[in-house]
Amino acid sequence: MTTTAPPDAVAVAQQRLLAALGLPWGAAPADGDYIRVADAALRADAVIGMRGEDEPPLTGWQVEPAAPMLSEPTAPHGQYQMRELTARQPAWLAALALPPGWSFRCVGRELVEAQAPDGTRHRLGITVEAPP
Residue 113: partners with Cβ closer than 8 Å, 6 or more residues away? 104, 105, 121, 122, 123, 124
Q: Which pLDDT value is given to residue 3?
A: 42
Classified as helix, coil or strand, 60 is: strand
In a domain, 57, yes or no: yes
Mean pLDDT, the chain, integer: 85
Distance, in Å, from the CA atom of 45 to the CA atom of 104, rounded to the nearest integer, reads 14
Res. 68: pLDDT tops 90 = no
Distance, in Å, from the CA atom of 69 to the CA atom of 103, rounded to the nearest integer, reads 19
Q: Which pLDDT value is given to residue 71?
A: 53
Q: What is the mean pLDDT of residues 28-56?
A: 90
In a domain, 82, yes or no: yes
In a domain, 1, yes or no: no
In a domain, 35, yes or no: yes
**Which tens digits make up the pLDDT trace of 1-35?**
444 444 588 888 888 999 999 999 877 888 888 99
What is the span of the domain harbouring residue 83? 8-127
In a domain, 2, yes or no: no
In this predicted structure, which of 42-51, 94-103, 110-119, 123-132 has the lowest mean pLDDT? 123-132
In a domain, 120, yes or no: yes
Q: Indicate the number of domains in the chain.
A: 1
Degrees to nearest 5, angle at CA 73 with 48 and 82: 50
In a domain, 132, yes or no: no
